[in-house]
Structure 1
Amino acid sequence: MRKRKFLMFGVAMAAGLVMGLVSAVPASAHGATMMPGSRTYLCYKHSRASTGEIKPTNPGCKAAFDKAGATPFYNWFAVLRSDGAGRMQGFIPDGKLCGGNATVYDFSGFDTARSDWPVTHLTAGRSIQVRYNMWAAHPGRFDLYITNSTYSPTQPLRWSNINSTPFSSVVNPPSSGSVGSEEGAYTWNATLPSGISGRHIIYSVWTRSDSTETFYGCSDVVFDGGSGNVTY
């Protein structure tokens, strides 16, 4: 009987600990581009070892890890501002676009200007199926922007480096897969800008229509005739 009591006490303590951890997770919507992959998503995907640990080998991902540790990797879907309300220039400071000037987790390591982040190979003018993770499902608008000829991978990203008109916009696109999983995603077809080549950033903004929460993200791409393959 004594052993049984101790066993039941241990189970209760474990259950309480799990519930405490669950309740500590922020109750916010989350998401990020998976195709073309955002910096946070591709760094998480490539750096996660079979043991679950984060062990980056890509130089850009390792620099981000060295700055802020593993937390922003495990929370790759949480580059957000709860008070964003769709605001961009004048709200997110120059040089902090990729990290969204986030206040929940430290994504500032992903703002580092460098040319060795994981990159998705694309073809200008072609149509792609965009996949945007829905860690939590909410209505809203998705806008994709492309950097202009002033962009340099080795210089901090500024609003002046991004075309002011999105090349793709969609409201409440269809979704598939399970909410709260890596497989769950919103999908839509987007025609990539034509007449461009070399390295660029596709900048994504997801603005919820049921709150002021807004998500920001950088996807490093190179227009070289590719069809979506990723180089780490």
Structure 2
Amino acid sequence: MPARRRVATAASVAFVGVAPLVLTALGAAPAAAHGSMGDPVSRVSQCYAEGPESPKSDACKAAVAAGGTQALYDWNGIRIGDAAGRHQELIPDGKLCSAGSDAFKGLDLARADWPATAVSSGSYTFKYRVTAPHKGTFKVYITKEGFDPAKSLAWDDLDLQNPVATVTDPAASGGFYTFSGTLPKRSGKQVLYAVWQRSDSPEAFYSCSDVTFGGASTGGDGGSTPAPSASAPSEEQIEDGADESTVEHNGHGDQDASTSAEPVAKTEANQPKAAGTTENLAETGGDSSTSYIAMGGAAALALGAAALFMSVRRRATDGTRR
């Protein structure tokens, strides 16, 4: 085989071999963070606490009937990977609690009997249950006075101009981000909508928490039957259900719940390191930046191989013409 042809063949093989790697790298989404509001407990966490296979409240039973049990096992995965602050643009009215995801559609059911946390106006300490901490900003919004809990939640139902809590990079401790806010004067059943926008990735997380001001809320029939009181899942429940989850607890790099960015003992499952620890890639943003570095390296290799391939072909063609 002539030397020129051998070089051209080698360049072609290099290009063909590297190209799939580039496509794979470019198609890989940044790893996901995970969490949901723990106090006031979110709808999905409440239903998970009741038991995905046999929920107790009518609302959670209806949610499972509509969307299946997997959504509850994946309680910490209501997210949009490329949100980048475009929450209203990406999530349509009536689908705020699911973040527009069909997998969590049961959480969008319009009914007044969702289990609720009793609250009152004034200062409130929010606790966000996190299984993979990241830097970012939390904003918590509340529905406007006169909100009808028996109707689907829409963006216009929220007081977007006056979030009840806003905090950036709170410290994670004991499995929770804890931060303060102020609840305004309201009455009856309301909804708190939490948005966690990461700063080390465009990914954002969402959750709906049902609350009631001034005592027990009425049930779905509009009568005097109180809606059940909400309660968060225990650490034991979270650990027991981790094997059924399709999202990673403490891990990053893909959507395989059985893998993680660093070895984590079974007894440490769902116990994130405190914010600021350099060994936790999730907290420092190492998971997403590492992905981008890999993409850039693969792209550079592909471009180099393509350039070599085209150069050799041009020389071979010129030699033939001579």
- TM-score, length-normalised on structure 1? 0.77
User: Structure 2 CA distance, aligned partners of 1:66 and 1:225?
Assistant: 29
Q: State the partner residue of 2:199.
A: 209
Determine if contact 1:124/1:225 at 8 Å carries over to the other structure: no
Q: Quick one: which of 150, 156, 167 aligns to 2:152?
A: 156
Deviations 1:184-204 (A, max 9, x none): 1111121211x2111100000
Q: Decide whether the 8 Å contact of 1:141 with 1:208 is kept in 2.
A: yes
Query: Higher helix fraction: Structure 1 or Structure 2?
Result: 2
Letter in 2 for 1:119: A
Conserved in 2, the CA contact under 8 Å of 1:140 and 1:207? yes
Query: What is the letter of the counterpart of residue 130 of structure 1?
Result: F
Q: Which runs of 4+ in 1 moved over 6 A?
A: none
Given residue 35 of structure 1, which amino acid in structure 2 is its aligned partner? D
* Superposition deviation, residue 225 in structure 1: 5.7
Q: Give the CA deviation at 1:90.
A: 2.6
Amino acid paired to 1:222 = T
Shift of 1:124: 1.1
SS at structure 2 position matched to 1:142: strand
Contact 2:133-2:172 at 8 Å conserved across structures = no
Contact kept, 8 Å, 2:145 with 2:187, in 1: the verdict is no
User: Which residue number in structure 1 is paired with residue 96 of structure 2?
Assistant: 97
Unaligned runs of 5+ in 2: 1-29, 217-227, 231-322
| Alignment-derived partner of residue 37 in structure 1 | 41
CA distance in structure 2 between the aligned counterparts of 1:150 and 1:199, rounded to whole angstroms: 9
- Higher-Rg structure is 2
The Cα offsets for residues 114-144 of structure 1, whole Å up to 9 and x where unpaired, read as: 011110000112x222110111111000000
Partner residue in 2 for 1:47: 51
Match in the other structure for 2:177:
186
CA distance in 2, matches of 1:225, 1:86: 35
Q: For residue 205 of structure 2, give the secondary structure of its aligned residue in structure 1.
A: strand
Q: Is the 8 A contact 2:78 2:104 kept in 1?
A: yes
Q: Deviations over 1:36-77 (max 9, x none)?
A: 0000001101225xxxxx211101100111112111111111
1-side partners of 2:50 and 2:124: how far apart? 22
Give 1:97 deviation, angstroms.
0.3
**What's 1:62 paired with?**
61
Aligned-pair CA distance for 1:174: 1.6
- In 1: Cα distance, 2:61 partner to 2:78 partner: 18
Rounded to whole Å, the distance in 2 between the matches of 1:119 and 1:190 is 18
Q: CA RMSD in A?
A: 1.7
